[in-house]
């Protein structure tokens, strides 16, 4: 479809939820109260690894107003999306400091807290696994029964008798031969700490378990109501259809609210309280220390290159510090199998991605799904290879970046319509005025001012990480006034899905945006299925489903109109809320007259209420081969690049970012205002990972910074002077099977922001950084150490 | 955390002490309520007055989600006791729109897409309102300073800064 024919696609409409959110009318689960509702508070483990010897709840039970107390023995259930490894409440032993050991439901929070303070728990401390190296030694096990855990077989590979929750591999080409062909080999090690999602609304759940049946009602801040339904039912051994989940507005997710969290546990409390609704609202401290994080990660990478700069072979170990559980974490690890070497053509590669248990707060999905972490290592490593070769890092990347005809590390063939990483790199290099690395003379001159500027580039890629058979659907109903209500199973947590889906519906139905509404309050009993609102997949998958639903709606109306107008449905067109004959255009029927079925003047009726649906299922995807990782896992790739121009204070180590240019081969921008929002917000979240954020643990593996005082996110004063979003909308490289050519972009903006900043710091200082965050302390120390060496 | 009870700051606890009468003005309405002397202003507004636009993000004065205006100043309502509001003039996000029409500031937030999930938005609006009341012509740096205590994880702040600057300009035109 040519752009000039599009009425709504490509228009920067304001988000549909804007007014409710600026007036305080938008209701979140945080704000909800139900009749008879109880409040829950939890007892947390003070130890990182310990046996639970005994729990004495007798004093707590005596507190008036306490309606239920549960401990591990009351909840012999495990839960998990990909690896069923997580107890609802710690049973027999605790695996991280902060884990729930017991909980109380009481008439108010005061009473619940008082009761919690009276629960006595005796622990017998066990030796602690602090990091992946200790975990790999395997002398102490976080999960003794790992080999018995249910998991997606053939996709994840738990290693019996070890701390490895899954060991996934890629093997492509002949790695030995590849390294023999190399003129030069470089080895590096990089790492990132665990980082918090920090949704402004902490996790919250209200559960109401019918005492006379298996029925459970859940109100959750989760971003995946259908995953909650499925996993809660599975965990508690009840029918999926007995679980009813509602998700109203949610205050941010970023992956941390995907899958399932507090819901089954609160259900147990409600059952114990004889069916009264129970609300558990995580404190900010619990958000940091009970609920999951982004995993810490270490990359060990070795690459062979020829003198001309072409990569001949790579060997990579990505080791993920997943903490005490890996129910979702194993799938983060799996993505490295097909995406863990960046958007490069690597003819021979051996890659190992190991998701590893330690005794720390556990990990889960996080915007970027492992890619910020892998790209930190890979894109810094590529920069160092270019340096060693004496090549311009721009030229080195252009030479090795994926091009049509290449294959990815998992053997996927790259088409022109897969998108273009090089177009993105060229765009950002131009935008930041990249002319090659700074010279020694320039650096010396700038050093006199106490501040040195540096520029850096980095590439990025990501495809949705999800089961190969992921599906979604849309239902569309027309009201008597010709307005259309669309129901989808995805959650609009601010990314703008509901506005974008309304634009797609309006485009296909050819009606004004005001006549379309995507229904909020996703309800698993009423809304159609969607797997999880994750993976930057919804514009693509949901967009295709909504498009099909709209076409189906038009077809239904045409079939009735054809009878009335006595013609074939193929002779009918639609526009401006009417169905009309393609030639005799005055012969027409308004949508309104068809919405509930058409009524003739004599009273005869035909047709019926116009209700349409559309589906989309990921097609042609396969699981990676267990031995080689080869397969077709990428539904839709989005490539991108960042260019950074920054200034570093050589005295304080403070980094001030002047400009970040970010380009994405997005195919088609459906709503620039909303896409800009994803880019600006994502880049700043990436900047947080680059410069500020990170978990710190004590020697006994207790989280040292579980609050905003010591674990901050960027504020308005931390943002760069300028961010320049650039969208590649080249019909030649657009996504042919995406809606209007569009690809996903929700997660991509934060990937490789740290890499580009690290590369710019090298340009400024000629110092290589290997660990995040690049806070003033680490930068100033590196500068001090470098000057000592000279 | 959590040696059982370390995370209590987030929630309201009834102290059992004799309730105290609180007289104040909220969004233009005179209010007379009996409040627990240990109750925070945040809990009073959210739980007792049911003004759900006052959000709790951390309960310890770090994130700004609960920002309201008290006697013309932007304050974290989680850091103030309800009884301290005696005689005060309080404005929450619910008090910004007049006669069913959004204020210029609210309209500019929507226009510039200065919100995504919306959870920080009420607090962000109140910090902005207090700024523009005190300084109708703020510079970019002054805007950033004024909202530096309000965390937003979604927008990256750029659209918020732009919305506030645009609102300042429009309000000036409107007042002419």
Contact A23 B160 (CB under 8 A): no
Helix, strand and coil content of chain A, in percent to the nearest 5, comes to 30, 25, 40
Supply the pLDDT for residue B7: 42
Contact B53 A25 (CB under 8 A): yes
Q: Would you call B44 exposed, middle or buried from its count of C-beta atoms within 10 A (0-12, 13-18, 19+)?
A: buried
Q: Has residue B8 got a pLDDT over 50?
A: no
Q: Has residue B1 got a pLDDT over 50?
A: no
- Contacts with B159 from chain A: Cβ below 8 Å: 676-677, 680
Q: Judge whether B138 is closer than 8 Å to chain A, CB to CB.
A: no
Q: Judge whether A120 is closer than 8 Å to chain B, CB to CB.
A: no
Number of H helices, E strands in chain A: 19, 31
Contact A15 B113 (CB under 8 A): yes
Scanning A66-105 for CB atoms below 8 A from B yields 98
Stretch B44-68: mean pLDDT? 97
The overall average pLDDT reported for chain B is 93
Cα–Cα dist B103/A79, whole Å: 47
Scanning B62-121 for CB atoms below 8 A from A yields 62-63, 65, 92-94, 96-97, 102, 106, 109-111, 113, 115-121
Q: Judge whether A426 is closer than 8 Å to chain B, CB to CB.
A: no
For chain A, give every residue range classified as CATH 3.30.365.10. 3-25+470-617, 296-466+622-789
Contact A713 B153 (CB under 8 A): yes
The predicted-structure confidence for B160-175, as pLDDT tens digits, reads as follows 999 999 999 999 999 9
Supply the pLDDT for residue A3: 54
Pick A723's closest partner by Cβ from B93, B144, B158.
B158
The phi and psi torsions of A287 (rounded to 5 degrees) equal -60, -40
Contact B153 A119 (CB under 8 A): no
The predicted-structure confidence for A544-555, as pLDDT tens digits, reads as follows 999 999 999 999
Scanning B43-72 for CB atoms below 8 A from A yields 46, 51-60, 62-63, 65
For chain B, give every residue range classified as CATH 1.10.150.120. 104-175
The minimum CA-CA distance between B148 and chain A, rounded to whole Å, is 5
B/e letters for A518-534, b = 16+ CB within 10 Å, e = fewer, are bebebbbeebbebbbbb
What residue in A sits closest to B64 (Cα-Cα)?
A200
The minimum CA-CA distance between B159 and chain A, rounded to whole Å, is 8
The predicted-structure confidence for A411-441, as pLDDT tens digits, reads as follows 999 999 999 999 999 999 999 999 999 999 9
For chain B, give every residue range classified as CATH 3.10.20.30. 8-95
Q: Hunting for tokens 């070769």 — which residue is that?
A: A389
Contact A22 B157 (CB under 8 A): no
CA atoms within 13 A on the CB side of A713: 25
What residue in A sits closest to B46 (Cα-Cα)?
A31
Radius of gyration of chain A, Cα coordinates, nearest whole angstrom: 28
Supply the pLDDT for residue B12: 52
Pick B154's closest partner by Cβ from A22, A681, A719.
A681
Share of chain A above pLDDT 70, in %: 99
Cα–Cα dist A660/A642, whole Å: 7
Q: What is the CATH architecture assignment of A296-466+622-789? A: 2-Layer Sandwich (3.30)
Supply the pLDDT for residue A4: 61
Contact B116 A495 (CB under 8 A): yes
CATH 1.10.150.120 for the B104-175 domain, yes or no: yes
What residue in A sits closest to B159 (Cα-Cα)?
A677
What residue in B sits closest to A724 (Cα-Cα)?
B158
- Contacts with A195 from chain B: Cβ below 8 Å: none
Give domain A32-126+203-281's CATH number out of 3.40.640.10, 3.40.50.1400, 3.90.1170.50, 3.40.50.10070.
3.90.1170.50
Contact (Cβ atoms closer than 8 angstroms) between residue A224 and residue A533: yes
Does the predicted interface ipTM exceed a cut of 0.85? yes
Supply the pLDDT for residue A704: 98
Q: Has residue B4 got a pLDDT over 50?
A: no
Q: Has residue B11 got a pLDDT over 80?
A: no
Q: Judge whether A695 is closer than 8 Å to chain B, CB to CB.
A: no
Contact A200 B158 (CB under 8 A): no
The phi and psi torsions of A52 (rounded to 5 degrees) equal -90, 110
Scanning A655-694 for CB atoms below 8 A from B yields 673-674, 676-677, 680-685
Supply the pLDDT for residue B14: 67
The predicted-structure confidence for A17-57, as pLDDT tens digits, reads as follows 999 999 999 999 999 999 999 999 999 999 999 999 999 99
For chain A, give every residue range classified as CATH 3.90.1170.50. 32-126+203-281
Pick A250's closest partner by Cβ from B3, B65, B117.
B117
- Contacts with B115 from chain A: Cβ below 8 Å: 15, 18, 21-22, 494
Tell which of B98, B100, B153 to mutate to test the A interface (max A CBs under 10 Å): B153
In sequence order, the 6+-apart residues with CB closer than 8 A to the CB of B166 are B108, B111, B112
The predicted-structure confidence for A508-543, as pLDDT tens digits, reads as follows 999 999 999 999 999 999 999 999 999 999 999 999
Scanning A472-511 for CB atoms below 8 A from B yields 493-496
Cα–Cα dist A15/A165, whole Å: 41
Give domain A3-25+470-617's CATH number out of 3.40.50.300, 3.40.50.360, 3.30.365.10, 3.40.50.10190.
3.30.365.10
Would you say the pTM of this structure is higher than 0.80?
yes
Contact B153 A249 (CB under 8 A): no
Provide the CATH number for the domain formed by B8-95 in this structure.
Answer: 3.10.20.30
Assign A212 to helix, strand or coil: coil
Name the stretches of chain A with pLDDT < 70: 1-4, 790
Q: Judge whether A349 is closer than 8 Å to chain B, CB to CB.
A: no
- Paired sense of beta strands A638-649 and B29-35, if any: unpaired
The predicted-structure confidence for B104-162, as pLDDT tens digits, reads as follows 999 999 999 999 999 999 999 999 999 999 999 999 999 999 999 999 999 999 999 99
């Amino acid at each position: 479809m040519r752009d000039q024919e599009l009425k709504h696609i490509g228009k920067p409409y304001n988000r549909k939820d804007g007014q409710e959110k600026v007036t305080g009318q938008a209701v979140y689960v945080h704000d909800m109260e139900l009749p008879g509702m109880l409040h829950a508070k939890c007892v947390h483990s003070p130890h990182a690894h310990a046996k639970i010897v005994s729990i004495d709840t007798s004093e707590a039970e005596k507190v008036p107003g306490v309606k239920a107390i549960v401990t591990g023995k009351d909840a012999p259930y495990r839960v998990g999306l990909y690896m069923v490894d997580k107890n609802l409440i710690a049973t027999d032993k605790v695996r991280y400091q902060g884990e729930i050991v017991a909980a109380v439901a009481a008439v108010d929070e005061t009473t619940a807290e008082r009761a919690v303070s009276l629960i006595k728990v005796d622990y017998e401390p066990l030796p602690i696994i602090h990091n992946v190296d200790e975990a790999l030694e395997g002398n102490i096990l976080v999960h003794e029964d790992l080999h018995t855990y249910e998991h997606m077989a053939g996709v994840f590979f738990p290693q019996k008798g070890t701390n490895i929750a899954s060991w996934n591999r890629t093997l492509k080409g002949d790695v030995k031969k590849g390294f023999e062909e190399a003129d030069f080999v470089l080895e590096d090690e990089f790492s990132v700490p665990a980082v918090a999602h920090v949704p402004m609304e902490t996790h919250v759940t209200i559960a109401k378990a019918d005492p006379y049946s298996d029925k459970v009602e859940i109100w959750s801040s989760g971003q995946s109501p259908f995953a909650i339904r499925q996993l809660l039912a599975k965990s508690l051994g009840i029918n999926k259809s007995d679980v009813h989940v509602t998700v109203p507005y949610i205050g941010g997710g970023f992956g941390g609210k995907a899958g399932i969290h507090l819901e089954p546990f609160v259900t147990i409390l409600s059952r114990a309280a004889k069916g009264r609704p129970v609300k558990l609202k995580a404190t900010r401290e619990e958000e940091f220390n009970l609920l999951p994080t982004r995993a810490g990660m270490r990359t060990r990478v070795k690459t062979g290159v020829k003198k001309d700069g072409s990569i001949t072979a790579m060997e990579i170990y990505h080791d993920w510090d997943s903490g005490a559980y890996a129910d979702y974490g194993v799938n983060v690890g799996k993505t490295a199998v097909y995406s863990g070497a960046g958007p490069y053509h690597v003819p021979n590669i051996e890659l190992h991605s190991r998701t590893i248990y330690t005794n720390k707060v556990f990990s889960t999905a996080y915007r970027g799904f492992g890619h910020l972490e892998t790209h930190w290592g890979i894109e810094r490593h590529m920069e160092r290879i270019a340096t060693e070769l004496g090549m311009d890092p721009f030229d080195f990347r252009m030479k090795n970046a994926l091009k049509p005809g290449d294959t990815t590390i998992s053997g996927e063939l790259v088409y022109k319509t897969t998108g273009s990483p090089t177009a993105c790199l060229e765009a950002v290099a131009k935008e930041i005025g990249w002319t090659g690395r700074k010279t020694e003379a320039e650096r010396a001159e700038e050093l006199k001012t106490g501040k040195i500027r540096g520029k850096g580039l980095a590439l990025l890629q990501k495809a949705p990480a999800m089961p190969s058979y992921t599906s979604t659907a849309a239902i569309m109903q027309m009201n008597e006034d010709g307005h259309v209500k669309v129901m989808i199973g995805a959650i609009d947590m601010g990314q703008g899905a509901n506005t974008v889906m309304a634009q797609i519906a309006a485009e296909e139905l050819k009606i004004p945006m005001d006549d379309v509404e995507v229904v909020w309050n996703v309800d698993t009993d009423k809304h159609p299925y969607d797997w999880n609102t994750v993976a930057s997949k919804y514009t693509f998958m949901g967009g295709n489903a909504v498009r099909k639903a709209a076409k189906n709606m038009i077809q239904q109306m045409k079939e009735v109109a054809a009878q009335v107008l006595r013609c074939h449905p193929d002779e009918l067109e639609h526009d401006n809320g009417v169905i009309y004959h393609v030639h005799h255009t005055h012969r027409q029927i308004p949508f309104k007259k068809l919405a509930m079925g058409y009524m003739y003047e004599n009273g005869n009726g035909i047709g019926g209420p116009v209700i349409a649906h559309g589906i989309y299922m990921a097609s042609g995807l396969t699981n990676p081969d267990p031995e080689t990782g080869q397969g077709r896992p990428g539904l839709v790739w989005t490539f991108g690049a960042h260019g950074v121009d920054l200034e570093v204070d050589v005295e304080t180590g403070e980094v001030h970012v002047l400009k970040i240019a970010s380009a994405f081969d997005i195919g088609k921008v459906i709503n620039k205002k909303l896409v800009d929002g994803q880019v600006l917000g994502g880049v700043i979240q990436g900047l947080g990972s680059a410069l500020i954020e990170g978990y710190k643990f004590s020697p006994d593996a207790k989280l040292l910074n579980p609050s905003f005082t010591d674990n901050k996110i960027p504020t308005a004063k931390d943002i760069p002077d300028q961010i320049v979003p650039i969208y590649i909308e080249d019909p030649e490289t657009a996504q042919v099977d995406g809606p209007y050519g569009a690809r996903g972009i929700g997660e991509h903006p934060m990937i490789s922001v740290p890499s580009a900043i690290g590369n710019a710091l090298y340009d400024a200082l000629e110092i290589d950084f290997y660990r995040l965050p690049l806070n003033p302390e680490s930068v100033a120390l590196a500068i001090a150490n470098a000057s000592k060496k000279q | 955390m959590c040696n059982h009870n370390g995370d209590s700051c987030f929630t309201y606890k009834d102290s059992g002490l004799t309730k105290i009468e609180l007289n104040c003005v909220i969004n233009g309405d005179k209010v007379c309520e009996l409040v627990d002397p240990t109750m925070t202003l945040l809990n009073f507004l959210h739980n007792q007055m049911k003004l759900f636009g006052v959000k709790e993000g951390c309960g310890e004065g770090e994130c700004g989600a609960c920002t309201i205006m008290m006697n013309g100043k932007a304050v974290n309502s989680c850091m103030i006791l309800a009884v301290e509001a005696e005689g005060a003039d309080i404005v929450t996000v619910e008090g910004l729109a007049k006669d069913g029409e959004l204020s210029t500031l609210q309209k500019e937030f929507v226009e510039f897409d200065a919100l995504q999930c919306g959870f920080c938005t009420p607090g962000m609006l109140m910090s902005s309102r207090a700024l523009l009341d005190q300084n109708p012509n703020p510079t970019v740096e002054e805007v950033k300073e004024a909202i530096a205590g309000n965390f937003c994880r979604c927008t990256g702040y750029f659209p918020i800064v732009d919305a506030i600057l645009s609102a300042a300009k429009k309000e000036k035109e409107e007042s002419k």
